[in-house]
Structure 1
Amino acid sequence: MTDLPVHALTDRVQIPQDLPSPWVRITKRIVIALAVLCAVVLIVYIDRDGYRDVQEDGLSLLDCFYYATVSLSTTGYGDITPYTETARLVNVLIITPLRVAFLIVLIGTTVETLTTESRQAFKIQQWRNKLRNHTVVIGYGTKGRTAVAAMIGDEVAPADIVVVDENPAALERAKTAGLVTVRGSATDSEVLRLASAQHAKSIIVATNRDDTAVLVTLTARELAPKAKIIAAVREAENQHLLEQSGADSTVVTSETAGRLLGIAVQTPSVVEMMEDLLTPNAGFAIAEREVTPKETGGSPRHLHDLVLGVVRANKLIRVDDPEVDALELGDRLLYIRSADAER
């Protein structure tokens, strides 16, 4: 991917950056131009005896300003000229570079347009070389946006999240949220390589179609065999296809929403509590942590934390299962924490 043309790289990958307002940029250029002009005036005034004027009455400060103006603008009427070797050397070594700098400032917009792509491409290459253990979110629709919001609420840095999507409007929303975006279909392994999926810690598949989710999961698993892949599927009958494709975890969106709707008929407060548990940055939240040496041998039901389950050898075991009556080192506890208290 490093052999991609500059325009192809910058067209697909967008890194958020803070740009000053147009007025600030214009003011900055005017200040630089005036500084260059004043520097030339000062140099010419100090060495004014080395210049010849057609009137042969010496150079005044106004004459120096006049010479600096016509010289920097490359007009060069020739009525004031350097005639001593010192003055000519100063013109070659100092005033000529300042003239070039002055012209660059004048045509700064054009130069900036020509160099922006190159600088952005270099920045993208630097970013890709350093990017490791990040999360790739494929699809920035409702599911993708909610997943990103949950991760950021759980103190995941936006710089550690990369969004892949084909929809320009979705990518613009992700860019506004401060996320790096990659435009293209995630079924293409080259697009996933641009997002450095091969170095990702986790990959979230939040596409709008189940068949697309299966193909994306297959492509991602082939490219990143060690990454944790979490995929969303609309229909439960397609869940096994995602698991066979290499997904570590699957979420059936239609059935999950249906269950919540059914529960809300009799006990709407339960739904509110579930929403609270699924919001990591407010109220109560479900979290995971390692068992401490002091807790080994004890029962998870006797801990200060409200434990829901124990993860042992990558398998989730309910807290009331006799298998986890005695905790072991290496176990992980799934418990309820208070986000407000921790904050």
Structure 2
Amino acid sequence: MIGRWSSPNARLTDRPDHTLVGVIRMPDVSVSPVNAIVRRVIGAALALAAAVAIVYIGRDGYRDANGDGLTLLDCVYYATVSLSTTGYGDIAPASDAARLVNVLVITPLRVLFLIVLVGTTLEVLTERSRQAFRIQKWRAKVREHVVVVGYGTKGRSAVSALLGDGVEPSRIAVVDTSQTALEAASSAGLVTVQGSGTRNDVLRVAGVERARAVVVAANRDDTAVLVTLTARELAPKARIVAAVREAENVHLLRQSGADSVVVSSETAGRLLGMATATPLVVDMVEDLLTPDTGLAIAEREVEPNEIGGSPRHLPDIVLGLVRGGRLYRVDAPEADAIEAGDRLLYVRKVTPASSD
């Protein structure tokens, strides 16, 4: 049965959640070594204290080699050697009740005591089960998240922008074939899925059909086209944003279903050209594109008292107006008067409170 699910030809969507460990990786909850050791010591101490209390309460049912009965110290001694499985035999349960307590209570405590002492080994053995449970819980509840296909330079920058806009790391799923890239994404608190974004079963595992947005940050333009086609088929209503290297491929991305296409090479080239003559303009553009410091471009709904007025007369620096899914620059005739249902693109000042 295990071989069936581990076959390279097996579809990920046909596999149970517990077999997806290693394909999906949930972000680790970091615990310092000191805290882990303290927790284990406390757990062992509690198990020992419980055993001492149980033996002391039923001490009349135990036989001591000296024949003088059990003191509290004798109970501590018996509990210690019993839980550690040393068992010298100088103190032993004699009555039926004491033996029954040893079977039903002391033995489970002995097992618990040993488990706590070998907590590191147990942690390794149970990691797969914990991951399977967290994967099952995440897949059952995730909605309106963002799927980022490709965690190279563009993908990391896109994730940084999302985090700067206040998106929770657990609401971002990264899809990539590189184990190194996935480990970097996981260390940032992101959910990761190992596989090619051109495969629909991989995107299904990432929950793309329930995502609100898909960021396609592949290293090759042809790969970006295939990922966009697959994502659009699975998520007809999701917003798909794709990056390409060459401008001549923009129409292919749009025909494949991308809502927005960014030409990475041309954008970088324009900034490089501007920097030779007007470097401060480039600094300003960089500031606007960085959501967690300085100024940022944001979008908001219009207020009721703004309807009918001109966006140029608002206190905010308005750059454009979105109406019916179309963007109009602030100097366009369509943007002369604000209508109900419009949205405004404006320059927002990022303060420490708003960047948290």
Report if TM-score (shorter chain) is over 0.5.
Answer: yes
Q: Partner of 1:327 in structure 2?
A: 338
Specify the code of the residue in structure 2 equivalent to 1:324: A
**Gap regions ≥5 residues in structure 2:** 1-11
Q: Structure 1 pair 47/298, CA: closer, same or farther in 2 (3 Å)? A: closer
Alpha-carbon distance between aligned partners in 1 of 2:353 and 2:107, rounded to the nearest angstrom: 63
Aligned pairs (5 A) from 1:100-249? 100-249=111-260
Matched residue SS, 1:328: coil
Contact 2:307 2:339 in 1 (8 A): yes
Q: 1:7, CA displacement in angstroms?
A: 6.0
Q: Partner of 1:21 in structure 2?
A: 32
Q: Structure 1 pair 17/111, CA: closer, same or farther in 2 (3 Å)? A: same
Is 1:85 aligned with 2:96?
A: yes
Q: Partner of 2:4 in structure 1?
A: none
Q: Partner of 2:8 in structure 1?
A: none
Root mean square deviation, CA, Å: 2.2
Q: Partner of 2:51 in structure 1?
A: 40
Q: Structure 1 pair 289/55, CA: closer, same or farther in 2 (3 Å)? A: closer
Greater shift, 160-169 or 89-98, is seen at 89-98
TM-score, length of structure 2 as denominator length: 0.88
Q: Structure 1 pair 119/296, CA: closer, same or farther in 2 (3 Å)? A: same
Q: 1:176, CA displacement in angstroms?
A: 2.0
Greater shift, 242-251 or 82-91, is seen at 82-91
Contact 2:302 2:343 in 1 (8 A): yes
Is 1:308 aligned with 2:316?
A: no
Q: Structure 1 pair 284/58, CA: closer, same or farther in 2 (3 Å)? A: closer
Contact 2:149 2:218 in 1 (8 A): yes
Contact 2:193 2:205 in 1 (8 A): yes
Alpha-carbon distance between aligned partners in 2 of 1:196 and 1:89, rounded to the nearest angstrom: 52
Specify the code of the residue in structure 2 equivalent to 1:94: V
Contact 1:135 1:200 in 2 (8 A): yes
Specify the code of the residue in structure 2 equivalent to 1:97: P
Alpha-carbon distance between aligned partners in 1 of 2:147 and 2:221, rounded to the nearest angstrom: 18
Alpha-carbon distance between aligned partners in 2 of 1:50 and 1:44, rounded to the nearest angstrom: 9
Alpha-carbon distance between aligned partners in 1 of 2:307 and 2:45, rounded to the nearest angstrom: 72
Specify the code of the residue in structure 1 equivalent to 2:313: H
Q: Structure 1 pair 63/341, CA: closer, same or farther in 2 (3 Å)? A: closer
Q: 1:63, CA displacement in angstroms?
A: 3.7
Contact 2:21 2:131 in 1 (8 A): yes
Alpha-carbon distance between aligned partners in 2 of 1:19 and 1:284, rounded to the nearest angstrom: 33
Contact 1:312 1:331 in 2 (8 A): yes
Encode CA deviations 1:132-171: one digit per residue, 9 max, x unaligned.
1111111111111111111222222222211111112222
Which of 265, 287, 290 lines up with 1:279 in the alignment? 290
Q: Partner of 1:294 in structure 2?
A: 305
Specify the code of the residue in structure 2 equivalent to 1:106: L
Q: Partner of 1:268 in structure 2?
A: 279
Q: Structure 1 pair 97/303, CA: closer, same or farther in 2 (3 Å)? A: same
Greater shift, 161-170 or 131-140, is seen at 161-170
Specify the code of the residue in structure 1 equivalent to 2:130: R
Greater shift, 205-214 or 293-302, is seen at 293-302
Alpha-carbon distance between aligned partners in 2 of 1:331 and 1:31, rounded to the nearest angstrom: 59
Q: Structure 1 pair 61/300, CA: closer, same or farther in 2 (3 Å)? A: closer
Alpha-carbon distance between aligned partners in 1 of 2:178 and 2:226, rounded to the nearest angstrom: 18
Q: Structure 1 pair 30/307, CA: closer, same or farther in 2 (3 Å)? A: closer
Aligned-residue identity in percent: 65
Contact 1:289 1:334 in 2 (8 A): yes
Q: Partner of 2:3 in structure 1?
A: none
Q: Structure 1 pair 74/262, CA: closer, same or farther in 2 (3 Å)? A: closer
Contact 1:6 1:118 in 2 (8 A): no
Contact 1:6 1:117 in 2 (8 A): no
Q: Structure 1 pair 98/148, CA: closer, same or farther in 2 (3 Å)? A: same
Alpha-carbon distance between aligned partners in 1 of 2:298 and 2:270, rounded to the nearest angstrom: 22
